[in-house]
Amino acid sequence: MRIKQLTILLSAVAAALLCGCAKEHTESEADAAKREFDAWLAKNYPNATRTGRGVYIVSDTPGTGAAFNTDYDVFAVVDYVWKDLQGNVTATSEADLAKQIGSYKPANFYGSSTWAIFPTETYAGIYDGIKDMRVGGTRVFITPSWLNTNADYSSEEKYLKKYDPDDCTPSSIITVTLLEKIEDIEKYQIDSIDRYNIRTFGHKLDSARIGYYYLQTQKPTDDLSLKDSTVYINYTGRLLNGQVFDTTIEDTAKLYNVYEPSRDYEPIKVSMGESVDKLKLGDSESNSGVATSNMTSEGVIRGFAYTVFNMKHYEKGTCIFISSYGYAAKGSGSTIPAYAPLRFDIELVDKP
């Protein structure tokens, strides 16, 4: 009898344990992130206004300019300050602020930036955060990490379902001042170059193709083609605001505060190849890559490659081109912003 009662008791305990295990819930990364973010928001910004798919507006100073409609592809020229949830500045367009926090570097680009406001080209949080702004307005908004991705889903729940912290920028507090609205980015850049051409060269730059300009500043010593040959060049690259981002000339690097002691400043070798797509800089192995609209198969931006390939012995020239021939929508590191026209001063020289 006692054995039977003991068996019944053990069975009941086992059943209870099984039920307990079945009810145990392991919190997912998305659930944990959402819980932590909601707790932080309730403590620090309880009155923030939710908008879009889960962005929270802290303050909004309306602009008086054109309405910023995100229902179609459009570009925004902005000044911005990007902070983490502890209030630390992680990125900014403001040089003075970068100097204050000790992150300023002379070679870095500071100034108004151009953002593509497309559903799949910008963070969902940015897209929702600046939606319905007007030019001239300033908005401070908070975007959670799961919206700091280029994915385009219809609801916050879908972002959380696909949440991967390795693919998202951490939750952020972003201040954006909307300076200008652009609908045709190519025309905008060409207009900028035309104004620069008049101001700097007295309209002497020739447009060899749409968005590409060249001015010969020293005639070559002959008219022989350099196809399939090896030449050496010096060059200096700069933005239209005058900021130098790269050069092979040591004195120029020192003058513009971009000198790097570990670098050798000397003319660079160029293997011309049989076509622009095969032009290669330096002694690196062939990339054997696939050419794109803005890059050759050897990884050289097309505006630069096109210029050098068509130069002759000891020729000097200045080329300027829109970002479609340069670094396009991504820019290059912290020195060349997205959608930036570039200027290169290039000369063919003797082998060092």
Burial bucket for residue 329 (CB in 10 Å: 0-12, 13-18, 19+): middle
Domain end among 183, 205, 224: 183
Task: For the beta carbon of residue 148, count every other beta carbon within 10 angstroms.
Answer: 19
Per-residue pLDDT tens, the chain, 352 aa: give them.
Answer: 444 444 444 454 444 444 444 445 578 999 999 999 999 999 999 999 999 999 999 999 999 998 887 777 789 999 999 999 999 999 999 999 999 999 999 889 999 999 999 888 899 999 999 988 999 999 999 999 999 999 999 999 999 999 998 888 999 999 999 999 999 999 999 999 999 999 999 989 889 899 999 999 999 999 999 999 999 999 999 999 999 999 999 999 999 999 999 999 999 999 999 999 999 998 866 555 777 889 998 999 999 999 999 999 999 999 999 999 999 999 999 999 999 999 999 999 999 8
Three-state DSSP class for 60? strand
Q: Which of 323, 233, 317 is nearest to 272 (CA)?
A: 233
3-state helix, strand, coil in the chain (%, to 5): 30, 30, 45
pLDDT value of residue 198: 95
One domain, residues 205 and 343: yes
pLDDT value of residue 192: 96
Q: 114 lies in a domain?
A: yes
DSSP state letter for 57? E
One domain, residues 219 and 269: yes
DSSP lists the bridge partners of residue 113 as 78
- Beta-carbon contacts of residue 116 (< 8 Å; ≥ 6 apart): 73, 75, 122, 185, 329, 338, 339
Q: Which domain holds residue 140?
A: 29-183
DSSP lists the bridge partners of residue 161 as none
Q: 11 lies in a domain?
A: no
Domain total of the chain:
2
Domain end among 183, 211, 245: 183
pLDDT value of residue 289: 72
One domain, residues 131 and 217: no
Q: 222 lies in a domain?
A: yes
Domain end among 162, 183, 204: 183
pLDDT value of residue 259: 95
Q: 19 lies in a domain?
A: no
One domain, residues 257 and 205: yes
One domain, residues 196 and 320: yes
Q: 12 lies in a domain?
A: no
Burial bucket for residue 276 (CB in 10 Å: 0-12, 13-18, 19+): buried
One domain, residues 171 and 198: no
One domain, residues 179 and 190: no
One domain, residues 135 and 194: no
One domain, residues 179 and 229: no
Backbone angles phi, psi at 8, to 5 degrees: -65, -40
One domain, residues 260 and 161: no
Q: 20 lies in a domain?
A: no
CATH number for the domain that contains residue 43: 3.10.50.40
Q: 7 lies in a domain?
A: no
Locate 72 and state its tokens. 């179609």
Q: 238 lies in a domain?
A: yes
One domain, residues 178 and 217: no
